[in-house]
């Protein structure tokens, strides 16, 4: 019961404070709700077995390239991961590649395209665990 109360408060607070919200579905059966606010992200796996907080630092290399360095912390496992991402900005979309590093081992490499139309960003991607991902992200405000 204590876990559900925490999750309910976490979900409500995230929704009220968010600058944008997203939903991602993957072919491995996982799906996620995400809430974003000024470089911070809270993500909840819909199977109720993972809540993750992220802080993302973006470093601009040049006009077309960004290195994104997210530091994730999984609450239930008390596990921190690093997943650096190289983003190439094209005129109408972003192409990125990301490598996951868990506490003691490298994991998947992921590739995706983010395509924005007005306030909605669509993501289509794949990772080396043979999982495809699709995400919709809606930005509030201007």
User: What's this model's pTM, rounded to 2 decimal places?
Assistant: 0.81
Query: What structural domains and CATH numbers belong to the chain?
Result: 2-139 (2.40.160)
pLDDT in tens, 107-130: 889 999 999 999 999 999 999 999
- Give the closest residue to 35 by CA, choosing from 11, 1, 57: 11
- 88, β-bridge pairs: 65, 95
Could you tell me if 128 and 109 are in contact, meaning their C-beta atoms sit under 8 angstroms apart?
yes
Q: Is the pLDDT of residue 48 over 70?
A: no
């Amino acid at each position: 019961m204590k876990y559900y109360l925490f999750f309910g408060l976490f979900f409500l607070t995230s929704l009220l404070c968010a600058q944008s919200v997203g939903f991602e579905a993957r072919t491995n059966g996982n799906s996620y709700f995400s809430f974003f606010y000024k470089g911070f992200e809270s993500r909840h796996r819909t199977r109720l077995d993972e809540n993750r907080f992220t802080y993302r630092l973006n470093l601009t290399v040049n006009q077309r390239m960004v290195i994104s360095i997210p530091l994730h912390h999984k609450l239930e496992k008390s596990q921190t991961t690093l997943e650096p991402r190289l983003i190439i900005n094209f005129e109408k979309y972003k192409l990125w590649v990301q490598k996951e590093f868990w506490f003691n081992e490298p994991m998947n490499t992921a590739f995706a395209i983010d395509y924005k139309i007005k306030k909605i960003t669509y993501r289509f991607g794949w990772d080396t665990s043979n999982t495809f991902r699709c995400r919709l992200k809606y930005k509030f405000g201007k």
